[in-house]
Amino acid sequence: MNVLKQPTKKTYERDAQLTQTVMDIIDHVRKDGDQALLDYAAKFDHVELDSVRVSPETVKAAYEQVDPDTLEAIRFSASQIRFFAEEQRKCLKDLDIQSRIPGLEIGHRMIPVERCGCYVPAGRHPLPSSALMGIVTAKVAGVKQVAACSPAFKGYGTIHPAVLVAMDIAGADEIYCMGGAQAIAAFAYGTQSVAKVDLIVGPGNRFVTEAKRQVLGDVGIDSLAGPSEVLVLADESANPTYVAIDLLGQAEHDPNAKPILVCTSQKVVEEAMKELQRLLPTLETRDVAEQSWTDNGAIYLADSMEEAIAISNDIAPEHLEVQVNNEREVAQKLLHYGSMFVGHYAPVAFGDFVSGPNHTLPTMRTARYSNGVWVGTFIKTPFHQFVSKEGCANLAKHCMQLAQVEGLQAHRDSVKLRLEG
């Protein structure tokens, strides 16, 4: 393996000031509730709100501000996400079985959380797709109350119309104009207007991520997301133009995004880099993309496809593109990734918007042990056991022995007294 380019800086670091700032924001929301949310909306989003709750009239008016093509695309995306989530839900079933031990029935149930909060970030551009990914999936999972939030978008005085429409089409039961760490605190602990939730999902900036870290335990979260990542796995069959634009497609997300190329062909690497430099000036997002590629881009020239696969499995990228010969065979050997895009005609963009699988995915190598948001994120799987008198007798001996070994007398006696009674 030859490392042709390495990142020049770390893309995510916690710092004491960030931790304290977020802690102060959370404390303010817990103490002052809605007033704290309104104060932060004025301070950070430069908007004066009477209430963080978005009215049905505002949502209805948003439809008039969204062009027909965008509305059609939002509805198409929602239908794709819903289709895939419904198929996933079919895989999750209650279990009730007779144990090998007579008198003992064991199993589990699929129980959706009762209430969740879906966070939708707002930055340079509106992100209706993020609204769809969280809310649609939660509703398919069976969550009774889905609350959604996003910060006020510059120039609108409330959430961007495209995001409001997406939230409505997705089926949000409540919509709040709030963002940042303060929104996470409101979902976690509740305010006068915002009822607390059981689970918070959705990506955000480092303040949102730190807030999710701090409230974890008081409320569930999907993950602690870092900067977005793509790894393009390529061989001599890859189209250098496709490779280049897909690397830039990730780089334009954020200055801290991580675009990575792992390739077995020196020729493809060289041609892809020429294409990257040709395409970069054509992008409206070129400043962000250039910084991301310069600071965080990486290129690995592998000696074989087996080595390339090993590199990818070690990095465990959020997004993994497979642009090689025998792509299905290679794909089966790839084990660690958030979402995989197989074939020369499968850019990450499809997964971001319209293919159906969720785009809220694990980053920073957490794909080695976790997965993205899916219907199972919103569903608990508690266990149960039904024990008859016969079952009690059949389980007693070994149960009492292990309780005795572990020094738990009341455990032992809870069985013994039933046998004697």
| Per-residue confidence (pLDDT) for residue 345, from 0 to 100 | 98
Query: Which tens digit of pLDDT belongs to each residue from 55-103?
Result: 999 999 999 999 999 999 999 999 999 999 999 999 999 999 999 999 9
| Per-residue confidence (pLDDT) for residue 13, from 0 to 100 | 65
By CB neighbour count within 10 A (0-12 exposed, 13-18 middle, 19+ buried), where does 17 fall?
Answer: exposed
Say what percent of the chain tops pLDDT 70: 99
Q: Are residues 352 and 240 in the same domain?
A: yes
Q: Is residue 136 part of a domain?
A: yes
Q: Are residues 208 and 252 in the same domain?
A: no
Q: Are residues 137 and 234 in the same domain?
A: no
Query: Which tens digit of pLDDT belongs to each residue from 200-254?
Result: 999 999 999 999 999 999 999 999 989 999 999 999 999 999 999 999 999 999 9
Which of 57, 23, 36 lies closest to 194 in space, CA to CA? 36
**255-231-239 Cα angle (round to 5):** 105
Report how many domains make up the chain: 3
| Per-residue confidence (pLDDT) for residue 15, from 0 to 100 | 87
Output 225 or 353, whichever has higher pLDDT: 353
Which of 226, 212, 224 lies closest to 254 in space, CA to CA? 226
Query: Binning pLDDT at 50, 70 and 90, where does residue 399 land?
Result: very high
Q: Is residue 2 part of a domain?
A: no
Q: Are residues 54 and 202 in the same domain?
A: yes
pTM over 0.85: yes
Which of 21, 5, 82, 1 lies closest to 276 in space, CA to CA? 5
Which of 16, 181, 190, 165 lies closest to 78 in space, CA to CA? 165
Q: Are residues 28 and 137 in the same domain?
A: yes
Q: Are residues 101 and 154 in the same domain?
A: yes
Query: Binning pLDDT at 50, 70 and 90, where does residue 11 land?
Result: low
Q: Is the pLDDT of residue 123 over 90?
A: no
Q: Residues 211, 26: contact at Cβ < 8 Å?
A: yes
Q: Are strands 258-263 and 229-234 parallel, antiparallel or unpaired?
A: parallel
Q: Is residue 379 part of a domain?
A: no
Q: Residues 259, 292: contact at Cβ < 8 Å?
A: yes
Q: Are residues 127 and 55 in the same domain?
A: yes
Q: Are residues 237 and 151 in the same domain?
A: no
Query: Which CATH number does the domain housing residue 30 bear?
Result: 3.40.50.1980
Q: Are residues 154 and 55 in the same domain?
A: yes
Q: Which two tokens stand for residue 207?
A: 């303040």
Q: Which two tokens stand for residue 4?
A: 């042709």
| Per-residue confidence (pLDDT) for residue 12, from 0 to 100 | 59
Q: Is the pLDDT of residue 14 over 80?
A: no
Query: Binning pLDDT at 50, 70 and 90, where does residue 124 land?
Result: confident
Active site residues: 318-319
Range of the domain at 124: 16-221
Q: Is residue 107 part of a domain?
A: yes
Q: Are residues 239 and 316 in the same domain?
A: yes
Query: Binning pLDDT at 50, 70 and 90, where does residue 346 land?
Result: very high
